[in-house]
Chain A
Amino acid sequence: MLLIPCPYCGNRPEIEFSYGGQAHIARPPVPEELDDDAWGAFLYARDNVRGPHRERWRHLHGCARFFNLVRDTRTDRIIASYRVGTPCPRVEPL
């Protein structure tokens, strides 16, 4: 069970959180302007990262806030935790 640093509450066990998939995929402001391929990519195309992965989490059974993590998918090491709307901290490339 991961120990997840919620940027609002601090370290909490994974059981308090829900996972929200890859981060930084903004909903297009005017969806009708996207062609079918671009919209399909927004809906379904996701990275399958081996290494640092930027992902959304929600502290569902705590402050209930969404936030972002950078987690190394090889080791589960958590590299960064930051609030929604703030830029992702620089992560060293693999």
Chain B
Amino acid sequence: MFRLPKRGLVDHGAPLSFSFDGRRLTGLAGDTLASALLANGVHLTGRSFKYHRPRGILGAWADEPNALVTVIRGGGRSTPNLPATQVELFENLVAFSQNREPSLERDRWSINDRLGRFLPAGFYYKTFMWPKSFWSRVYEPRIRAVAGLGVAPEQADPDRYEHRYAHCEVLVVGAGPAGLSAALTAAESGCRVVVCDDRPLPGGSLLSAASATIDGLGAREWADTAVARLSSMTNVTLLPRTTAFGYYPHNLLGLCERLGDHLPGEPAGPRERLWSVRAARVILATGALERPLVFPDNDRPGIMLADAARQYLQLHGVAVGRRVVIVTAHDAGYRSAHELHAAGIQVVLADTRPAAIARSTPFRVIPDARIEGTRGTLRVSAITISHTGRSERIDCDAVLMCGGFTPSIHLASQSRGTMAWDAEVQAYVPAGSAEAECSIGAAAGRLELADALADGCRAGRDAAAAAGFAARRIGTPRASVDHSVGQGGIIGALPHGRDPAKVKAFVDWQNDVTARDIMLATREGFRSIEHVKRYTTTGMATDQGKLSNLNSLAITAAQTGRPVEAVGFTTFRPPYTPVTFGALAGAARRDLFDPVRQTPIHDWAVAQGAVFEDVGLWKRARYFPRASEDMQAAVNRECLAVRGSAGLFDASTLGKIEIVGADAATFLNRLYVNAWDRLAIGRCRYGVLLREDGFILDDGVIGRLAADRFHATTTTGGAARVLATMEDYLQTEWPDLDVWLTSVTEQWSVIAVQGPHAREILTPLVQGLDISADAFPHMSIGEGTICGAALRLMRVSFTGELGFEVNVPSSHGHAVWEAIWRIGQPLGMTAYGTEAMHVLRAEKGYIIVGQETDGTVTADDAGLAWAIGKTKRDFVGKRSLARPAMKAPDRKQLVGLRTLDPAKLLEEGAQIVGPDGGPSLGHVTSSYYSANLGRSIALALVRGGRALEGHRLRVAMPGGGIEVDVTNPVLFDPKGKRLDG
């Protein structure tokens, strides 16, 4: 086959069996899936995205656009869109090709290739316009089925992922010659160094540098020595199989370490580890990627990058063909030709440059070559080259391309450094830093080995010194090479003599973008490279244009008559290569996705069979069904019990803030709409807090425990927001006030005892506090003890019934709840949940912030103008209330709605219109069935609603409007007599 004995870093004595599209094949330990396929003579590995053209392996690592496979590992493990060039081979690996039906060899959608002239750039913007409704129903699903990549796995990911943080003085990205010498030099100074490299073995280009020597050692040997030295140092973390995918502000880099995918079977530990590394200095030694050439029919299987072919030879001992033609515009093509020739492969080299220098080569060189096309369906079989005025067809089984090298500036650009056009390299290179970073070696456009080593030593020394570590002077390693990389290179489309309208010369293999597509885009007026990219899709998808970007830039530049550097380049964004969702999520899945907050009474509610709902992070008991009750039945029973005898409610989630200090009353006065300075000790008041723009932020009862001490409650969801607002004003506007704010939400468990029997139930339990009607009227607060626990008792009601809120230290919450429960049982006391609480408060027209309010509702809109201290000159939001729009009579105001049919339940959020239709007047904010009133009830915000009381409106609902009468929002016990029991 195509394996050459005794060559490469593979283990020729360790065969591995694997399957590709169901075919059993054999590779070697040390292979990638791509090298193992090539060793078996398999080039055809994919079908292209749009035209479904047969495609082969183009590159040798992360730049691969064609050979995308799905790897199946069992147990739900299925990973689509992996470049075969990056999949390490293991015993019994199972891989499938993608985007073909039924097989790679006979793909029914290859018809698209012949319809190519009807599918130009942007065809879907032009072709599938009519009828409009067909886009989502017909066109898009069909296009998606035909044009696509792999299929997302359907089962949950069974693997584990880990997150780790690290800090270091120097982070080196890339362990090639530049990176290794930088890491060695920096590490010798004693500073903390992290080195990462995305390949299985560190060494980069040194591993395939067959003829190079460094300090008298073979390049591989020198790399091995350097890696061994780094591994032995305690201040160095060496991470192979680790991709630095993102460069974030202040030198935080995201690294993804692959731990399990190269091994057979289930991973013993995590599959991947996501590193967040904060480095004082970053050295980018990310190398360069070889550029393909844009000539007619340049995408047949067997056509690949010249340096990729050289790497398959030197790393894996694989010949990509027996008779190859190398097309080059750069001296590096000669290096590949020499090495392939030396391995016994027949080589013809076609140099596209007009003045090819005379070279003494053991293989044929065609200077001034023009590529007219290639032949072969599932594998290239010949190439047509015109030179010296004649056309020649050369039979071959592989065509290799070398257009020069593009420095990998992805991370440098992500770090927001500036780039400059380098005419010699014909590429952008890093020019200025925004972070403490530098690019070295090939990543900086310096392709020769000696330059990379020298760059590394200098950068390593400078980085250590900048971090305050004196580098020991170690000499720059001396390199010698048989074939220098040399110079040259070209970007853009190569000239040819064929009809440009009939030629497909690919720029972007992954997105099937040809030179003609980019020319079409510029003819249609696209000039910005960002627009050309989005219109033609060049540079998108999993490879993000690693191979295509510069060629598309050059074609755009040529078409618009501008130099390349005037066109600029598309923005580089993370990630450099795709990152799994698993790695990003880490342990934050299922139970660990979010913290869960539970009250001290949670377990009791669980034991009672409560159904819970999420309120923020809290679990709250929603209702307590008995036997076969559904929610409505349970809620009806709970509501009737509260108004009939007594109800017990866990209000522990209420936000609680203790406000202490000589200026506490002044502080509350400035913040809340209410007047606080004359609130007597032992009394409570319902407070409304506005934002500075005049809209309701939160509400809650505040009690005065002492002249300098208030106990404030907030809504469950608003607790953190209210405390943050208070701290903001206290710290930044009124730092002179003597006030201390403490969140005590978790310290106090709150048990609401509501209903006509509430006092009777609590009296035997409360010590040290007279809670009789005269001594402890509505809106009182007092301290005492209950069941031996400290007690802060508030006489407040969110139900309209006689009510108390028992605050006890959380450690006593459960015990006190049980004690009250036992006493209440003979009197018919019932536990009720949040759903009954909502119904009971709605019956009374009490608002819930966030339900009746939405950030555009003032205190007056919500019917709370009575709470505003009339004599106060200022409070937060007061000035805004004087703006004209805030006083307009047609503002939306809180009203009640009565459906004419008492059984009809409105939908929350439904729009309200006039009796004969017309524009929306508002919307339903709350809607329930009220067992106590024996009918449906609703609250709503309606334009000028208070003046409409008694009028008829319509609520738009699916199936037709529902007629309603506007009422006062207080629907139950409007005089409030029940508050006193």
Contact = CB atoms under 8 A, between A and B. Distances in A.
Q: Do A and B come from one complex?
A: yes
Interface of A: 1-3, 13, 18, 20, 26-28, 30-32, 34, 36, 39-40, 43-44, 56, 58, 60, 64-66, 74-78, 84-85
7 contacts: A27-B733, A31-B878, A32-B878, A32-B879, A56-B732, A66-B732, A84-B735
B670 to A, nearest CB: 10
Interface in B434-453: 434-435
Interface stretch (B246-254, B578-586, B675-683): B246-254
Given A76-B250, A77-B434, A36 B883 contact: yes
B159 interface: no
Interface string B230-263: 0000000000000000001111100000000000
B530 interface: no
Interface stretch (B332-340, B723-731, B838-846): B723-731
A43 B880 contact: yes
B250 A64 contact: no
B107 interface: no
A31 B732 contact: no
B740 to A, nearest CB: 12
A31 B670 CA distance: 12
A64 B731 CA distance: 10
Contact of B874 (A26, A30, A39): A30
A75 B416 contact: yes
Nearest to B878: A31
Contacts of A78: 250
Given A3-B278, A64-B727, A77-B434, 17 more contacts: A3-B249, A3-B250, A3-B251, A13-B278, A28-B879, A31-B879, A39-B883, A44-B693, A56-B732, A58-B724, A58-B727, A58-B728, A60-B724, A74-B416, A74-B434, A76-B249, A84-B732
Contacts of B733: 26-27
Interface residues of B, number: 27
B884 A3 contact: no
Interface in B849-908: 873-874, 878-880, 882-884
Interface string B731-747: 11101000000000000
A85 B435 CA distance: 30
A13 B732 CA distance: 23
A60 B874 CA distance: 28
Contacts of A85: 735
Interface of B: 248-252, 276, 278, 416, 434-435, 692-693, 724, 727-728, 731-733, 735, 873-874, 878-880, 882-884
A65 B735 CA distance: 12
A14 to B, nearest CB: 8
Given A1-B252, A85-B735, A75 B879 contact: no
A49 B260 CA distance: 46
Given A43-B693, A75-B434, A84-B731, A32 B882 contact: yes
A41 B727 CA distance: 23
A3 B435 CA distance: 12
A43 B692 contact: yes
Nearest to B727: A64
Contacts of A60: 724
A7 to B, nearest CB: 13
A74 B258 CA distance: 34
Given A31-B879, A32-B874, A3 B732 contact: no
B728 A66 contact: yes
B249 A2 contact: yes
A77 B732 CA distance: 24
Nearest to A43: B693
Contacts of B250: 1-3, 76, 78
Contacts of A2: 249-250
Contact of A31 (B276, B728, B731, B874): B874
B248 A1 contact: yes
A78 B727 CA distance: 24
B735 A1 contact: no
A18 B725 CA distance: 12
A20 B728 contact: yes
Nearest to A33: B879
Contacts of A18: 724
A19 to B, nearest CB: 11
B275 to A, nearest CB: 13
A66 B416 contact: no
A26 B734 CA distance: 10
Contact of B880 (A28, A39, A64, A66): A39
A63 B867 CA distance: 35
Q: Which 4 A-B pairs have the closest CB atoms?
A: A31-B879, A76-B249, A3-B250, A75-B434
A58 B249 CA distance: 19
Contacts of B276: 1
A66 B724 CA distance: 10
Nearest to B433: A75
B941 to A, nearest CB: 23
A27 to B, nearest CB: 5
Contacts of A32: 873-874, 878-879, 882
Contacts of A56: 732
B617 to A, nearest CB: 15
A78 B435 CA distance: 11
Nearest to B692: A43
A66 to B, nearest CB: 5
A85 B735 CA distance: 9
A24 to B, nearest CB: 10
A39 B692 CA distance: 10
Contacts of A1: 248-250, 252, 276
A75 B437 CA distance: 13
Nearest to A29: B874
A30 B874 CA distance: 8
B732 A34 contact: no
A51 B251 CA distance: 19
A36 B884 contact: yes
Contacts of A3: 249-252, 278
A18 B731 CA distance: 15
B879 A39 contact: yes
B789 to A, nearest CB: 29
A28 B882 CA distance: 15
B595 to A, nearest CB: 13
Contacts of A75: 416, 434-435
A15 B242 CA distance: 25
Contacts of B724: 18, 58, 60
Contacts of B732: 56, 66, 84
B94 to A, nearest CB: 39
Nearest to B693: A43
Nearest to A36: B883
A65 B727 CA distance: 8
A44 B693 CA distance: 9
A57 to B, nearest CB: 11
B56 to A, nearest CB: 41
Contacts of A77: 434
Nearest to B434: A75
B883 A40 contact: yes
Given A2-B250, A43-B693, A43-B880, A66 B727 contact: yes
Contacts of A28: 879
Contacts of A44: 693
A78 to B, nearest CB: 8
A62 B250 CA distance: 20
A30 B883 CA distance: 15
B801 to A, nearest CB: 39
A78 B250 CA distance: 9
Nearest to B276: A1
A32 B724 CA distance: 25
Contacts of B883: 36, 39-40
Nearest to A78: B250
B731 A66 contact: yes
A67 B252 CA distance: 23
Contacts of B735: 84-85
Contacts of B882: 32, 36
Among B249, B724, B882, B884, chain A packs the most CB atoms within 10 A around the CB of B249
